[in-house]
Amino acid sequence: MTLEVLFFDGCPSHEQLLASLRQLAAQHGAELRERRIETPQDAERERFLGSPSVRVDGVDVDPGARERTDFGLKCRLYRSTEGQAGLPPRQWIDGALRQAASRRKAGTRWTVAGCCGGDELPDQLNGGQRHARTVVGLIALVGSAVLLARCPAGALRATSTLLGVGAGWFGVSHLVAARTGYAGCPELGAIPTLVKGREVKVGCVPWRIADRRLGLTT
């Protein structure tokens, strides 16, 4: 379990928060990580809402963070029942750590892998995203069928077969993601989630970018 703080150099709230984070990390057996955000491009890529930002297993402790898109190099303000402050309430961090520990105990783990570093995932795909996965999945299955039906003889046969099988996996996994609403990487997470009967979340930067460019997400 990881407890991560994202910050930029010179942020006074980052230093104030560290002592509390060290205590909570030790209390919950979490690994404390510090990650510096240096450029506006880094901020956009990492979905950085300001310094300091605290995440547990890659998920922001602020319950409203998923709805926000105001990424940038800036000081972050947190609004809670206690008012407005430059630090997240301690109970938010403690609660996020307890929830992450419960997920792990139950066998459900949020993972970020491959091309997906720093990704945060919605709970479900929306209708437009499901349609996009369906279209891509069907195209991949057609390609798979063509490759497998027209396998050349000789040395290229193995390569064509491998490409056909890979395209088939790609297509089926996208159709599974569309059907179930799985929001992460279809190839790596959708079918394992279906087979295991529990959520295996693996982020997907290419689809996150494509969804935004297609106007499917903000």
Full 3-state SS string of the chain: CEEEEEECCCCHHHHHHHHHHHHHHHHHCCEEEEEECCCHHHHHHCCCCCECEEEECCEECCCCHHHCCCCCCCECCEEECCEEECCCCHHHHHHHHHHHHHHHHCCCEEECCHHHCCCCCCCCCCHHHHHHHHHHHHHHHHHHHHHHHCCCCCCHHHHHHHHHHHHHHHHHHHHHHHHHCCCCCHHHHHHHHHHHCCCEEECCHHHHHHHHHCCCCC
Q: Given this model, what pLDDT does residue 127 score?
A: 80
Q: Is residue 120 part of a domain?
A: no
Q: Please check whether residues 143 and 183 belong to one and the same domain.
A: yes
Q: Is residue 113 part of a domain?
A: no
Q: In what order do the strands lie in the sheet with 59-60?
A: 31-36, 2-7, 53-56, 59-60
Q: What pLDDT digit, counting tens, does each position of 145-160 carry? A: 988 888 776 667 788 8
pLDDT surpassing 70 at residue 122: no
Q: Please check whether residues 7 and 88 belong to one and the same domain.
A: yes
- List all residues 6 or more positions away from 4 whose beta carbon is below 8 Å from its beta carbon: 32, 33, 34, 35, 54, 55, 56, 58
Q: Please check whether residues 168 and 201 belong to one and the same domain.
A: yes
Q: What pLDDT digit, counting tens, does each position of 20-70 carry? A: 999 999 999 999 999 999 999 989 888 899 999 999 988 899 988 878 889
Mean pLDDT, range 83-98, rounded to an integer: 93
Q: Please check whether residues 14 and 98 belong to one and the same domain.
A: yes
Q: Is residue 122 part of a domain?
A: no
Q: Please check whether residues 84 and 144 belong to one and the same domain.
A: no
Q: Given this model, what pLDDT does residue 123 score?
A: 60
Q: Please check whether residues 140 and 95 belong to one and the same domain.
A: no
Q: Is residue 116 part of a domain?
A: no
- For position 51, which CATH number holds? 3.40.30
